[in-house]
Structure 1
């Protein structure tokens, strides 16, 4: 009995010590301290990437994914590039309330998507493209960050950049056709049908077009002939840069502007070595007149 009582007293004396050790190991830091440690780790990771980060931002409005290049420093400054525009400097900060946040707090290219004055194609006055420049950080590693827009809930991510991303057009991995193309276009406008053979006019254009990535896997858009101002676009899908079978479709705006079901692909080809795309297509306009378009795109 005495031996049993001695063991009981020994356990009772050890219990508070065990509780104290457990409490110390788990709860010795406050919530604020733990969040600050996470923020410090995230900032160190952002700054440490030698070639910066490629950002993919998908606004709530539209189907385009906008691609940027960011280079962060430890003084809360970030250099940004978009398309072929020069790099500009602005400020950023990391903060935490309930969750870590990345905030671009001075105006830069990213803010154009949310600008209420409608600074980019397709944006509406008052709301822009319903984009964000304040993000919750859902996860972060040495190679990528997953972000969620704080106000419009848009999806965004940061991918660790390579040396090639520091100059020229910023290209998002997974979209082999994204980038700039030199093009020539010939659009033949018939007074009625192609079979009748009476040509009303021929539109010939050339220059450079940009193919931005879309929210759909491996798909980009590019202006259809000389009708980009009408927001008529091809949707082009290519899974791998070495593939030759390119999938071709048109966007909903163009589909709604022509006779239903009239769009046809007469010929198509893609050469992965030269980056040359050839498309010959047909459609009937809303007035019943037929059109044939031939376009060649060569990657720059």
Structure 2
């Protein structure tokens, strides 16, 4: 049963040709959770993932994966979808999935049966015997994803899995990730699209410039910013105005300001007693994007936006 730690890493450091790629990354991934690694392209996400899996060794630091000090020893119970993808174009969808499972020790016939079931269960039964070269990019990527999990791993690691997918296939992938986690499988994915992490993840790591800027629960990242209050009143002035925080900004007849640390009740009492005439009052909790900007900085946020825009245009 989930409850332990699937991956733990401390002080991971890696340099290539004297250039630092990852500098002091600490990560803790509980079993059975969905964990996101966020950051712009070139931030060090892929290098971090490869160190966690034992594909490359860190120059410094240590990591354990599913109880193994040498992560590569757990390869048979890990499903890994790298950012650089490729399938044999003449293989059928069923054979490609079965072949990828065989690379992890799954008997081919078992892989074929599971592949057919996975394709049919996801409304893709018509593609079972179609060659990869006849599939769209998104469909081929879906097939490779099925091949990544056909051997039913305990840990699934996906490097930029949403890249190149249209909205329909992105939704299908999000549903699959949720289903795997519901079955107790640990899922880790990297992304430069914050919306995916906000919808799916319980915990995240934010990496920018090779450095870890945040690691923990999504709620903890968002709690670094105060909620925002939006207030519209019938009266435009009165003694109640003095109760508004000094940083209150008025735009289009609405006041906006951070929720006072004393809470909304004292302010609400003053507004009512002062005859402000409340027409609208809402409290909005900052989203993960706002938290990312506060944690990683405007430059990293702009890079993330640029990366997403380039991907959409591709």
Q: When the two structures are superposed, what TM-score results if normalisation uses the length of structure 1?
A: 0.25
Question: Could you say which structure has the higher strand fraction?
Answer: 1
Question: Could you say which structure has the higher helix fraction?
Answer: 2
Which structure's relative contact order is higher, taking Cα pairs within 8 Å and 6+ residues apart? 2
When Rg is computed on C-alpha atoms for both structures, the one with the higher figure is 1
